[in-house]
Structure 1
Amino acid sequence: MLDARNQIFERLNNFRWEAQLNISTRGIAEVDKPDAGHYATIHYSAVYRVLRHLSLQPSDTFVDVGCGKGRILCCAARRPCRKVVGIDYCEEFCKEAQTNAARMRGRRVPVVVHNGAAEEFDYTEATALFFFSPFGASTLAAVLQKMDHDSQHRRIRLAFVNCNEEQDKVFARQSWLELYGYWRAAGRRAHSVHFYRRTGAEID
C-alpha cells in the first residue's frame, strides 16, 4: 500500500514539475541502435537528489549522456554551472530536447544538444555527467575510454542510474575511476544510482 501511495505521489509530482518547467518529457520508446537502451524517465524527485549529490559548481560543464527529451538537461540548467550539454543518438529526441530547453522556465545557463553517438562525442569540457543506463556494456566501455582520453586527467565525476551486472563489470575495469557513492533501489520502481569520480579526486 505504501509503495502504491508513493507512486501516486511521484506521478503527481512529475506532472507538477512538467507544468512548472513548461516542458514535456514523459513517455517510453525504443531506440533504433544496436546496444541502445529504451527511452524512459526517472522521477523529478530522484533527478534533483542526484543533481544535489553531484554538487554542480559554476565552473562545471554538465553532460547528460542519452539525454532523450531533456528532462535532466532542463533540471540541471536551473542550477549554478557553466553549461549543460545533452547527447542522444535519436534525432527526434534531440529536437524535442531542444524545444524543451528553449521554452523551459527558470533556465540559468546555456543548453546545447548534440545528435550523435556517445562513443564519438568530445568529452574535453565535461566535468559532471549523468547516465540513465542509455546503452549496454560494450558501448559503455567505449564511452568511458573516450571520456578518459578526452578529459586528460582532469577532475570528473558521474552518476549512473540502474547499473546492471555487465555494466558494473565495465566500471570495475576502469582503473581511472573510483566509486564514491551508491544508493540502493528502495521500492518496486525505484532506481539504484552509482557515483564515480576520477581516482584521487576530491568532490567539494
Structure 2
Amino acid sequence: MKIFTYLHYFFYVGFNWNFRIAITIINQEIKGEKKYTIDTTGADELKKLYKQGIDISHATMYMPISYLLLEEIFRQLSFATKKHFLDIGCGKGRAMCVAAYNGYKNITGIDFSKQFCEDATNNLKHTQRKFPAINYHVTTVDAMNYEIPATVDCIFLFNPFDVVIMSAVVYNILESARMYPREIIVAYANPLYEELFLEEGFTEIFHTKEMKYLEAAILKLPALL
C-alpha cells in the first residue's frame, strides 16, 4: 500500500532535514501523486546499483523534487516555446509528467538507472492517457556521454550528480547550442553548481528558495551566433 511509502518518506525527510519540512512535503506528495496519477514518491540511495557494479560515485541519491517547487518552476516557464523538454537524471519521471500537463508535447528523459527509466516510462504511459498527443522517450545512458538533441529548448535538472558530471553536461549543452543555434532554458532545482552555467554565458532569470531546502533557479542561454 502506498501509505507505507509515504510514511517511510516522511521519516526519511524528517530525520535528514527536519520534521517541519517533512509535514509540508508529505502533504504535497499525497496531493501531487493523486493530481497527476503517477507513482514517484520515495528515496533511493542507489545501493542496488552499487551492488550491480555500477559506478555511483558521481551520482546523488534519488529524491523527487517537491511538487510545490516543480509547479512554481513551470509557472515561471509559461513564456517558453515548449518545443522539446529534456530531463537529465529523470528518476521516475515526475518532472516529465508534469511537463506534459504544462503543454510540452515532446518529452525526453535520461538516467543511468535502468529501473528508474522503466518506472519513468510507466508513469508517462499513465500521463499519455490524458495527453495522447505527447511523444516521450526515456533512455538509460550516462549523462556525461549524452548528446543534447537539436530540438531541445528546455532542460530540467534536480541536482542529479556532482561537479564532474555537471561540468560535462554544461559542455554538452553548449556544444548543442553551437551546432544548432537557439535559446535554451535550464530549470535547475537545488542548483549547487549554478556557477558552472553562469561562467559559460547563462543568465539567471528566476530564483526561489523556501524552507532552506526548496531552491531552484531558471537560467537562459541566448542563441549563439
Determine what percentage of the aligned residue pairs are the same residue: 24
Q: Which residue matches 2:113? A: 90
Report if the CA contact (8 A) 1:62-1:81 is conserved: yes
Q: Which residue matches 2:146? A: 121
Would the alpha carbon gap of residues 141 and 97 (structure 1) be closer, same or farther in structure 2, given more than 3 Å must change? same
Summarize deviations over 1:134-187 as a string: whole Å, max 9, x none. 0111111111111111133311011111122xx234234213x1222211x221
Q: Please tell me the residue identity of whatever aligns with 1:106.
A: K
Q: Which residue matches 2:217? A: 194
Higher helix share: 2
Q: Which residue matches 2:72? A: 49
- The CA RMSD over aligned residues, in Å, is 2.3
> Aligned residue pairs: how many?
194
Instruction: Find the partner of 2:182 among 128, 150, 154.
Output: 154
Unaligned stretches of 5+ in structure 2? Answer: 1-17, 47-54
Would the alpha carbon gap of residues 156 and 172 (structure 1) be closer, same or farther in structure 2, given more than 3 Å must change? closer
Taking the aligned partners of 2:96 and 2:82, their CA distance within structure 1 comes to 17
- Report how far residue 112 of structure 1 moved: 1.4
Q: Which residue matches 1:67? A: 90
Summarize deviations over 1:12-36 as a string: whole Å, max 9, x none. 2321221232211011112452311
Query: TM-score, normalised on structure 2?
Result: 0.77
Report if the CA contact (8 A) 1:26-1:41 is conserved: yes
Query: TM-score, normalised on structure 1?
Result: 0.84
Would the alpha carbon gap of residues 7 and 169 (structure 1) be closer, same or farther in structure 2, given more than 3 Å must change? same
Q: Please tell me the residue identity of whatever aligns with 1:182.
A: H
